[in-house]
Amino acid sequence: MSVDVQQLAINYLELDEHARSKAHYRAALVTPTAAVAHLVEQLHLAYNGKPAKGYAAFNAKKDQQVVTVLQDWQKQNSDFMVLSNTATAVLEQQLTAHQLPESGYLLVCHYRYLTSDYLLFCLLGSKDHFSLTEELELAASRHLDIARMQLAARIDLTEYQSSPEQGKYISFIRGRAGRKVADFFLDFLGCEEGTDAKANSKVVLASVEEYFSAAEFDGVEKSDARKQVYNYCEERAKAGQDVVLTELSAVIDEQEQQGFLRYCQEQQLAVAEQFPIEVKELKKLIKFSGQGGGLSIGFDQKLLGDRVQYDAHSDTILIKGTPPNLRDQLQRFMQGYSAFDRENSSE
């Protein structure tokens, strides 16, 4: 993996006595080093690994402070410090306006990966780590909490310049705090949500299954094709890239590589030539899962009709060969923990 770091700025947002965010600005950009490159690589991987993202485009009806300074920077009318500091100030304003008591380090990074330029904005928390010296003295250090990245957005600068009309050059993490977080980042960047990756995924799921029936795939062929589709989409998502319809078509049917593409065109299915996708939604291609009423169950699709039998009439599932850890729990419960322990201790 090769992430080419162009520029990195870091500012800090702390909470004052009234639980309002207050910005502190670093005097200069971070000097590019091997450690900085490794940091940005970790940020890139962590961001790509987030399953629930929204996609958006700039909207003239919203605050255009970030958009304006971004365009000035692209035209070389201002430098990266102006861009990062303006973004920090706008973020501070939006946190106050949305009454979100957030603190942390705002990283604004321009980097290149493969053939695309990206501009990443992420607000990271920190956590303290403790260690002992050779003299057994306690030492503390503060680390950026990349693994818990929740407030982040990224602009695909290459797509923004080449295909802005598609309206998906900005992506953002939806987060776990609900719609308010999504609204907050949309307002921060001055954009409006457009392409829906989850909706795209549902369309692809339905279209692929329709094609299987039309092309008369047998059970084994369907199972193999579903796995290949999932693997391809997962790989594209992890790389932060869109699914390409022509490539997907070749993955679905190796014998007739443009078969799925022609089917979509003939049936006028709503599948775009290139689109973002949500891998979590596509897991339905290869797994059955569900929960409710105190029961949670999941298994690979290929097990249905083999180790797993489902009777639709009685709505019952028969499982042959339970997982070892579940089997152990069940045996202990059925025999009674004390009796089971005595049996094991006597062996």
In this prediction, residue 94 carries a pLDDT of 86
User: What number of H helices and E strands is found in the chain?
Assistant: 12, 16
CA distance 138 to 133: 7
Q: What is the secondary structure of 233-280 as a DSSP string?
A: HHHHHHTT-PEEHHHHHHHH-SSSTTHHHHHHHHTT----SEE---HH
Long-range contacts of 19-22 (CB under 8 A, 24+ apart): 19/101, 20/95, 20/96, 20/101, 21/91, 21/92, 21/95, 21/96, 21/101, 21/102, 21/103, 22/92
pLDDT along the chain (347 residues), means of 10: 89 84 91 92 89 83 90 94 95 83 91 92 87 82 86 92 85 65 78 77 85 88 89 83 87 87 82 77 83 86 87 90 88 72 53
Joined tokens for residue 310: 């489902």
Q: Output the CA–CA distances (angstroms, integers) from residue 54 to 158, 196, 206, in the order listed.
A: 18, 7, 21
In this prediction, residue 343 carries a pLDDT of 53
Residue with tokens 């290929």: 302
Residue with tokens 């797994």: 287
Q: Output the CA–CA distances (angstroms, integers) from residue 283 to 160, 241, 253, 300, 345, in the order listed.
A: 30, 18, 19, 10, 43
Joined tokens for residue 222: 């369907």
Residue with tokens 């997907």: 248
Nearest CA-CA partner of 330 in 322, 342, 320: 322
End-to-end Cα separation, the chain, in angstroms: 52
CA distance 315 to 191: 47
pLDDT tens digits, residue range 237-287? 877 778 888 899 999 988 888 888 888 888 877 777 777 777 777 788 888
- The full set of domain ranges for the chain reads 3-193, 197-284, 288-345
Q: Which residues contact 196 (CB under 8 A, 6 or more apart)?
A: 54, 55
CA-CA-CA-CA torsion sign (49, 54, 60, 66):
negative
Other beta carbons within 10 angstroms of residue 91's beta carbon come to 25
CA distance 215 to 302: 20
